[in-house]
Amino acid sequence: MPEQKPDVSLREAFWYWLKLGFISFGGPAGQLGMMHQELVEKRRWISEKRFLHALNYTMLLPGPEAQQLATYIGWLLHGKRGAFIAGGLFILPSFFILSALAWLYLAHGDVPLLQGVLYGIKPAVTAIVLFAAWRLAKKTLHTPALAALALLALIGIAGFKLPFPLIVFAAALIGLVLMTWFPAQLKAPVAHAPQSPHAAEAVQASQPANTVQTAAVINDQSAVPARQRFSWRKLIVALTIGIVIWLAAIGLLTAVYGWHSTQTQLAWFFTKAALLTFGGAYAVLPYVYQAAIEQYQWLTALQMIDGLALGESTPGPLIMVVTFVGFIAGWSQQLFGPDSLLQAGILAAAIVTFFTFLPSFLFIIAGAPLVEASRQQATFTGPLTAVTAAVVGVIVNLALFFGYYVLWPAGLSSQVDWVALLLGLVAGLALFKFEQSIMRVLSGAAIAGMLLSVLSQVVS
């Protein structure tokens, strides 16, 4: 029988989560793979079965699965303190990095070299979004009903401009109907297996061929400490505290700035967005652009594409692109006047980040005890499977939206930007055919953009 590893100290966990916050590149697949290799295989903080059980739960939630998984494991190790440390450090480095990049983008975005970089990566971003839709489709659209759901979602959002929340709600209802009357059309994943489009390959890729396993700190036989056991009282208390924190925060913004202010509307909108991020960041981005660009006009379509490119290039969950959106909104709306643009951008970015991730912490703190109490029960995923199928169509629409603004920046009446089209095709070939990483594709696109910028200056 393997020797039980000693408990993990809070200090040791703090430094690991901080390090992860700075190196968590590669999107969900890379982040889940990093955590599995480090926590399951190397450090043995948690067993394979407990890791996958926690992952199963986070896949069912709206919000960034990797950040929520880190929060969950932090909770298993050190309770609520561990959850806040793990989840907070997973996103804090990205917050500061993206805020700095947003400032550089707005204050010095007219520098020709930087413009060249952005020109190169915009077509690559379009290819990356389309690639994300394709990967999700391969993992999800296994039946005619699910394929039809994806097509209907695409038609609904592209042709009829249906709001994203309505599409999610309708897909969930259809999932319930299919689960009741045509369960074979859902092909729900087996319980205790990763249900993310990236999770399975991320976990499998991180497993060495021949590894001698020692008993993990959190193993299959580990009992949940009394303070973490489920009770209805604890659930109600946790939900109440979370709702009170949200009400206090949005109430303070309303009292100071007014309900119709940019600050309060950012808080309200991104609270709704946080509850609709089934399928990852690519799924919620169409909802963000519908409101942030078309309704509130906080930023332009091209700024949204640039923000996604920067989000792809920095550590942390991709949904952190909302930090960039918030910074642009605060800056463009001049919340504190033309002389305090940086302060306005930082405040707006902080508001957006806080209200986006507050539900993620609440889901773990309130729901983890219940999940641990039901470790031996199957996971129910019918509505989620239908929602994920609809998300495929929504992401395809996002790629079409980005492609339009990249190829026809001046509108359909103008000529096609053939250079941008060529860059996009090369990026797509690198992703689809040669299976290059997103970071490598973005780096190549940025270099190509810089070379084109230098060439144009030499020619002129």
pLDDT digits (tens, 9 = 90+) for 312-358: 778 888 889 999 999 999 999 999 999 999 999 999 999 999 999 99
Predicted pLDDT at 213: 52
Domain boundaries, the chain: 10-188+231-459
**CA 430 to centroid of chain Cα atoms:** 23
Cα(48)–Cα(40) distance, rounded to whole angstroms? Answer: 6
> In the predicted model, what is the mean pLDDT of residues 34-47?
88
DSSP summary character for residue 40:
I
What is the SS3 assignment for 4? Answer: strand
Please determine, for residue 211, whether its predicted confidence score (pLDDT) is greater than 50.
Answer: no
Name the average pLDDT for the chain: 85
Span 123-150, average pLDDT: 88
Token code pair at residue 335: 């919340």
- CA 358 – CA 202 distance, rounded (Å): 26
Q: For the whole model, what pTM was predicted?
A: 0.78
Give the per-residue pLDDT at 172: 85
The answer to whether residue 178 scores a pLDDT higher than 60 is yes
Work out the pLDDT band at 29, boundaries 50, 70, 90.
low
Token digits for 396?
Answer: 């395809």
Query: Tokens 């980040």 label which residue?
Result: 353
The average pLDDT across 127-131 equals: 87
Helix (H/G/I), strand (E/B), else coil: 282: helix
Kindly list the distances between the CA atom of residue 424 and the CA atoms of 278, 360, 452, in Å, as whole numbers in the listed order.
27, 34, 15
193 pLDDT band (50/70/90 cuts)?
very low
- 279 vs 136: CA distance, rounded Å: 9
The mean pLDDT of 232-237, rounded to a whole number, is 91
Residue 405 has pLDDT above 60, yes or no: yes
Distance of alpha carbon 257 from its chain centroid, rounded? 29
Query: Can you tell me the mean pLDDT for 246-274?
Result: 96
In 10 A of CB 343, how many CB atoms? 14
**Is residue 76 helix, strand or coil?**
helix
Closest CA to 40 of 220, 233, 267, 259: 220
Range 261-264 contact pairs with CB under 8 angstroms and sequence separation of 24 or more: 262/296, 262/298, 262/329, 262/330, 262/333, 262/335, 262/348, 263/335, 263/347, 263/348, 263/351
pLDDT surpassing 70 at residue 191: no
Tokens of 44: 């043995």
∠ CA 107-444-196, nearest 5°, is 90
pLDDT of residue 115: 84
Cα Rg of the chain (Å, integer): 22
Percent helix, strand, coil in the chain (nearest 5)?
75, 0, 25
Eight-class DSSP state of 41: I
Q: Give the pLDDT band (50/70/90) at residue 251.
A: very high
Task: Quote the pLDDT of residue 376.
Answer: 53
Q: What percent of the chain has pLDDT over 90?
A: 43
Task: With CA atoms as reference, report the closest residue to 70 among 28, 41, 98.
Answer: 28
pLDDT bin (cut points 50, 70, 90) of residue 379 is very low
User: What are the angstrom distances between the C-alpha of 81 and each of 77, 90, 245, 450?
Assistant: 9, 14, 17, 45
Residue 27's Cβ-side half-sphere holds a number of Cα atoms within 13 Å equal to 21
